[in-house]
C-alpha cells in the first residue's frame, strides 16, 4: 500500500503540486478506507484492484486540476464535517466569523429563530444549531441540489428536526409576517468580469451561482438589504460575509436601507470579511 500511494505522490510532485504528499495520502486513506495509522501499519500489504482503481481515479482528477476537497466531497467547518456536491461552495474558515458572532446573538435569547440565505451546504445555520438545542433555522437556496445536501448535513449532525429548507430567491419563499432574530448570508460577491481571472480550482469547480455577484459584485447585498428589515424581529441582527474591499460599499447599502449600528469586522488577516447590522429604532 505504501508503494501505491507514494507512486501517486511522485506523479503529483512531477506535476508541480505543492501538497503532493498530503494529497496522495488523503486519497489513499479514502480509496483504501482506512485512517493514517492503519495506512502506516499496512505499509507492505498489496492493494486490491478495486481500491487501486479508486486511488488512480482520485489521482487523475487531481492532476486535471480538481481541488482535493471536491474530489473527496467533504470539508470540515466549525469542527463538523460537511458533505459537498457540485451545487455547494466549499465552506471556508473565514465564514466561521458569522458563526462566532451569531452565537453571541442567539445565546442571549430563548428559542431564537435563524434565517440563512443562499445556504449551500447549510454550514452556517447547522453550526449554530449544534450549539443551542432550542434554536430553529430556515435555510433558503435557489438550488434544489444544494438544499438536498444541506438537509443531509443537518441530519448527519442531529439537527434535522430544527432545520427547514425552502427553495427560491432570497426572501421570496417566506410567508409575509415571518420574523427572525438572526439573518445570515455568505452571498455571491465577486464581480462578473472578475470570475474569468480566478484560480482555475475556483473558476472551474465552484458553482457559478454562488460566485457571481453581478456587474459590481453587490447585487446580492442590495437585494438582501431591501427586504431584510421586513423579516427581522426588533433588535434582530443581520450578518453578511463580504469581499475584502466591500466593507464601505456594503455598509452604505445597509444604511441606505434603514440599518444602523453597522460594523465591519475583519478576518484574521486584517481584511474586511463581515458586516454586522441592526435596524434603526423606530420613532
Q: Determine what percent of the chain is predicted with pLDDT higher than 90.
A: 92
Same domain, 110 and 22: no
| pLDDT digits 0-9 by tens, 7-57 | 999 999 999 999 999 999 999 999 999 999 999 889 888 899 999 999 999
Cα–Cα distance list, 86 to 69, 145, 190 (Å): 12, 8, 19
Same domain, 135 and 165: yes
Q: Count Cβ atoms below 10 Å from residue 253 Cβ, excluding itself.
A: 21
The per-residue pLDDT of the chain, averaged, comes to 95
Asked if 208 contacts 195 with a C-beta cutoff of 8 angstroms, the reply is yes
Domain with 162 in it: what CATH number?
3.40.50.150
Same domain, 47 and 135: no
Q: Which helix (H) or strand (E) holds 145?
A: helix 144-156
The answer to whether residue 72 sits within a structural domain is no
Q: Which helix (H) or strand (E) holds 230?
A: helix 219-231
Asked if 236 contacts 179 with a C-beta cutoff of 8 angstroms, the reply is yes
Same domain, 243 and 197: yes
Question: Phi and psi dihedrals of 15, rounded to 5?
Answer: -85, -5
Same domain, 15 and 39: yes
Residue 282 has pLDDT above 70, yes or no: no
Same domain, 35 and 129: no
Asked if 114 contacts 184 with a C-beta cutoff of 8 angstroms, the reply is yes
pLDDT at 201: 84
Same domain, 89 and 218: yes
Burial of residue 39 (CB within 10 Å: 0-12, 13-18, 19+) is: middle
Q: Residue count of the chain, please give it.
A: 283
Eight-state DSSP code of residue 190: B
Report the alpha-carbon distance of residue 144 to residue 147 in Å, rounded: 5
Eight-state DSSP code of residue 91: P
Same domain, 17 and 153: no
Burial of residue 164 (CB within 10 Å: 0-12, 13-18, 19+) is: middle
Range of the domain at 199: 77-279
The answer to whether residue 22 sits within a structural domain is yes
Same domain, 15 and 115: no
Once rounded to an integer, what is the mean pLDDT over residues 121-135? 98
SS3 of 101, please? Answer: helix
The residue from 11, 32, 64 where one domain ends is 64
Query: At 200, is the pLDDT very low, low, confident or very high (cuts 50, 70, 90)?
Result: confident
Output the pTM of the full model.
Answer: 0.93
The answer to whether residue 104 sits within a structural domain is yes
The residue from 15, 36, 64 where one domain ends is 64
The residue from 40, 64, 88 where one domain ends is 64
Residue 283 has pLDDT above 90, yes or no: no
The answer to whether residue 208 sits within a structural domain is yes
The answer to whether residue 71 sits within a structural domain is no
Same domain, 7 and 58: yes
The answer to whether residue 151 sits within a structural domain is yes
Once rounded to an integer, what is the mean pLDDT over residues 153-178? 97
Number of domains in the chain: 2
The answer to whether residue 38 sits within a structural domain is yes
Same domain, 175 and 263: yes
| pLDDT digits 0-9 by tens, 230-265 | 999 999 999 999 999 999 999 999 999 999 899 999
The answer to whether residue 96 sits within a structural domain is yes
Asked if 59 contacts 118 with a C-beta cutoff of 8 angstroms, the reply is no
Q: Report the candidate in 94, 134, 20, 55 with the shortest Cα–Cα distance to residue 243.
A: 94
Report the alpha-carbon distance of residue 17 to residue 47 in Å, rounded: 24
Q: Residue 169 corresponds to which cell in the numbers above?
A: 430567491
Same domain, 218 and 111: yes
CA–chain centroid gap for 137, Å, is 16
Amino acid at each position: 500500500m505504501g508503494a501505491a500511494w507514494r507512486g501517486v505522490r511522485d506523479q503529483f510532485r512531477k506535476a508541480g503540486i505543492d501538497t503532493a504528499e498530503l494529497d496522495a495520502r488523503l486519497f489513499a486513506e479514502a480509496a483504501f478506507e482506512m485512517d493514517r495509522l492503519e495506512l502506516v501499519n499496512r505499509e507492505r500489504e498489496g492493494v486490491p484492484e478495486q481500491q487501486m482503481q479508486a486511488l488512480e481515479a482520485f489521482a487523475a482528477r487531481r492532476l486535471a486540476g480538481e481541488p482535493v476537497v471536491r474530489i473527496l466531497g467533504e470539508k470540515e467547518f466549525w469542527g463538523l464535517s460537511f458533505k459537498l456536491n457540485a451545487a455547494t461552495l466549499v465552506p471556508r474558515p473565514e465564514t466561521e466569523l458569522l458563526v462566532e458572532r451569531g452565537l453571541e446573538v442567539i445565546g442571549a435569547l430563548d428559542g431564537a429563530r435563524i434565517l440563512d440565505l443562499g445556504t449551500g451546504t447549510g454550514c452556517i445555520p447547522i453550526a449554530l444549531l449544534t450549539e443551542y438545542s432550542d434554536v430553529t433555522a430556515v435555510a433558503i437556496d435557489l438550488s434544489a441540489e444544494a438544499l438536498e445536501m444541506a438537509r443531509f448535513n443537518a441530519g448527519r449532525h442531529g439537527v434535522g428536526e430544527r432545520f427547514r429548507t425552502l427553495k427560491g430567491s432570497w426572501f421570496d419563499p417566506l410567508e409575509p409576517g415571518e420574523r427572525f432574530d438572526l439573518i445570515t448570508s455568505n452571498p455571491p460577491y465577486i464581480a462578473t468580469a472578475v470570475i474569468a481571472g480566478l484560480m482555475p480550482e475556483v473558476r472551474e469547480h465552484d458553482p457559478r451561482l454562488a460566485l457571481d455577484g453581478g456587474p459590481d459584485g453587490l447585487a446580492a447585498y442590495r437585494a438582501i438589504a431591501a427586504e431584510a428589515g421586513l423579516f427581522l424581529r426588533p433588535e434582530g441582527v443581520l450578518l453578511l460575509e463580504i469581499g475584502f474591499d466591500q466593507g464601505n460599499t456594503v455598509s452604505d447599502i445597509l444604511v441606505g436601507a434603514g440599518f444602523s449600528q453597522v460594523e465591519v469586522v475583519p478576518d484574521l488577516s486584517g481584511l474586511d470579511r463581515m458586516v454586522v447590522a441592526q435596524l434603526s429604532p423606530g420613532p
